[in-house]
Structure 1
Amino acid sequence: MSNPVRQPELECELLSGCGAIELLIRPRDKDLGGFSVRRSLPTTERKMVGPWIFFDHMGPAQFPAGEGINVRPHPHINLATVTYLFEGEILHRDSLGSVQAIRPGDINLMVAGRGLVHSERERPEVRRVPHRLHGLQLWLALPQACEEIEPAFYHYPNAEIPSVTVAGVPVRVMMGTAYGVTSPVKTYAETLYLEAHLQAGQSLLLPDAAERGLYVAYGELKVRDTLLPLHSMTVFSSAAGVVVEAVEESRIAIIGGESLGQRHIEWNFVSSRKERIEQAKRDWQAGRFPKVPGDAEEFIPLPE
């Protein structure tokens, strides 16, 4: 998904935690025209959690026939995007020639590397009827040694993503290793991305990681006496033995991994070097990025 503004930090309510909780972020809804987005990363106070530098929760949105997601071609550098849907479908096209419908449960990993352009639209048969869309859009910073690698696209269908039951809680291990299970999704650094669905009263021991964040897609949880409300992102320390308990039926995403150091982010560009972002901006304005086959007539201009 393209970032509609040059500076990506959205306003959030930030609450300092205690003990294992370092920060509790409560993003505010932002209307992107027909659907809302809540951005937990980056914020002014917290840019990244592990290698994760961007975390958007889009929807749920109900579109009438003839309307829907229609994101024109736009560029990325030095990052990898991860798209994950709870409901609906998005049609991905990119400048490598990839054409892929993304459906609930799939993992779509697009590695921009030295530069890649993509669009996110919908198939005509989806758009011509009323439909819903609900999901997460995440960006991974790449290690410095991998920032300028060749662009690549990887798609992992729902059936390839491993699941495990932990104390009665179903968990999907989307990226990395947790609870004795390893995802097949390609990683470039130590990376953690899980989804869990808890019923009221159930508890889950969080996996260990150098940095960890927990997002509440729906429901409410608690850590001892601290509530983790709907649509909040809680950043935890690396302390072992952290247990969360569902106050009500809840669906959560857990992200984390190793710190990659400082990254700069402007519009759709992420890099360890500010001058690389400036070069990417000039290249996009000059039309030097590759075109998207089958979707080459439109593009999103660099925001003012």
Structure 2
Amino acid sequence: MSTSAWIAGSVRARALVRRRIGAAAARRIAAAPTAAAAVHLLADTPYGRDVHSGQDPDTAERALTATVLWHLRVLAGWLPPGGVEPLRALASWYEVVNIDEHVRRLTGRPTGPPYRLGALSTAWGRVSATDSLEAVRATLAASSWGDPGAAQPRDIALGIRIGWAERVVRVVPAAEAWVAGAVALLAAREAVAGSVLPAALIRRLEALLGKGTTPTGPVGALVAALPARGAWVFADGPEPDRWWRAEARWWHRIERDGLAMLTRHRFGLPVVVGATAVLTADAWRTRAALVCAARGGQVEVFDELA
């Protein structure tokens, strides 16, 4: 391990964390009377790298997440080789979105431009060149994303999310509880939808969460079977009308744990993981603020979330 490279990367990670806007600034955006006013406020923050006055809310949301991705790409350039792969795994959620939209494009639905992944790309270059769902599946199966088990859009979407979880657990052990909570929510949603999953995806889900946690029965039974590392996200109960609280709890823990990592460690991988968590949580909260503003400045809704 190159100590000097880790020190440099850690210094850069802490500097990037200072680019977040925080809860107070996000609340001011949520209180804006119109979406246009909220975007104008957001453009005057560090998210103004990509967010500009006059953008519609959807474009502004996309732009603020693109800003975070840019920060992570910059951070990757400062890290030693041993730090890039964990960061790539965490940031591969952007590739998940790209693949989702590529599938939409192949099925004739409108999409926006893909995120520019740079060195954080895993298989996007190959996936983006495919011209059928069968080719998407084959390309994913030949990569670290794994085989989604079928070439249907829903199976591909679920498969790449499981692939994200598998990769993060493998190379970022400190994120195990984050991953388990996210996958537990994913499985619960599939249970409510009554999904019939390929056997390959069932095996992969059970490998992440344990036996009895696949979405093949009542959601209550699934939640009851969850290990502690995933059950925490359902502290308010398994009912679907409480899942917005579960998602908010997930993001709050990501941010809290990330800040703790930044406090406890001077340099090294925990600093990089912590910075990534804090930056992405700030983006989630800021996107929520934009949504609240677009609905007429529903700051009370924002306060419930944030």
Higher relative helix content = 2
Higher relative strand content = 1
Structure of higher RCO (CA pairs closer than 8 Å, 6+ residues apart): 2
Do they fold alike, i.e. is TM over 0.5? no
Task: State the TM-score, normalized to the length of structure 1.
Answer: 0.28
